[in-house]
Amino acid sequence: MYNVIVISDSLGETAEQTAKAALSQFENLDYKIQRFSHILTLDQLENIISSVEDFNNSIFFYSLVDEFLLTSIKKILDLKKANYIDVMTPSIIAIERMCGISPSIKPGALRKLDENYFKRVEAIEFAVRFDDGKDSRGILRSDLVIVGVSRTSKTPLSMYLANKNYRVCNIPLVPETTPPKELFEIPNSKIIGLTNTPENLNKIRVERLKSLGIPQGSSYSDLNRILEEIDFAMDIMQKIGCPIIDVSNRAIEETADIIINYLKKQQKKFI
């Protein structure tokens, strides 16, 4: 039985996965992995190493960024004539040489990056699942709810904000459909209304119908119908008491910046 000891100043998942990837190249190898996370002091390091009985049949995979700990573990393991792999340092040095920028040397920095990545993926999946009023239950779980008439950029805006780690659902406001009751059960500070000029909506919808191969004359692009929808939506948004943004002549990024700044201000009120 071979012992694989993983030591990290964070969770140690990266070092352990590296070890497993290497070990998988050897068939029928009998081994066990011990992982030690959040190792930040020399005492912790020495206690782990002193607990190892057989250094000949052991290998250390360590992911540490503190210079003192890196120097210490190398000296100790060299004295023990132990087998070891520094998982992180060669990669950091190679990148430093390439870009000429000194690393920040922050324990757990990769873990924080991973958490940010998975949070963004979860937000994107959320936006897709609760797009265009597919499931009103998403309203209660959202960081933000976007409401408005059709073709006010609700979906692209939701996806853009999801890439900024916000869980967003969007709800179309249509005269024939009663707005979900959940809209009135959450703070209006978590809701943003979108509107546009009737002329812009008319042009956008006419082009939309053309792209779908639908002949002109549909009520969808009719100006009177658009005015009716806008009036209905404005009435609902005013009842909710949420901010309303006119997206006419605004890029998605510009509208998103307005929303993000608004959300940050709301968060500060409760800090």
Q: Which residues are annotated as a binding site?
A: 148-155
Residue ranges in the chain assigned as alpha helix (H):
13-23, 42-50, 67-79, 89-99, 109-129, 154-162, 198-212, 223-240, 252-269
Q: Are 227 and 205 in contact (CB under 8 A)?
A: no
Euclidean distance between CA atoms 230 and 124, whole angstroms: 28
Of 169, 220, 248, nearest to 211 by C-alpha is: 220
Q: What does the block give as tokens for 93?
A: 């040095």
Q: Are 65 and 96 in contact (CB under 8 A)?
A: no
The Cβ-side half-sphere exposure at 5, using a 13 Å CA radius, reads: 22
Q: Are 245 and 149 in contact (CB under 8 A)?
A: no
Q: Is 150 exposed, middle or buried (0-12, 13-18, 19+ CB in 10 A)?
A: middle
Name residue, tokens 């000429």. Answer: 100
Annotation: binding site for ADP: 148-155
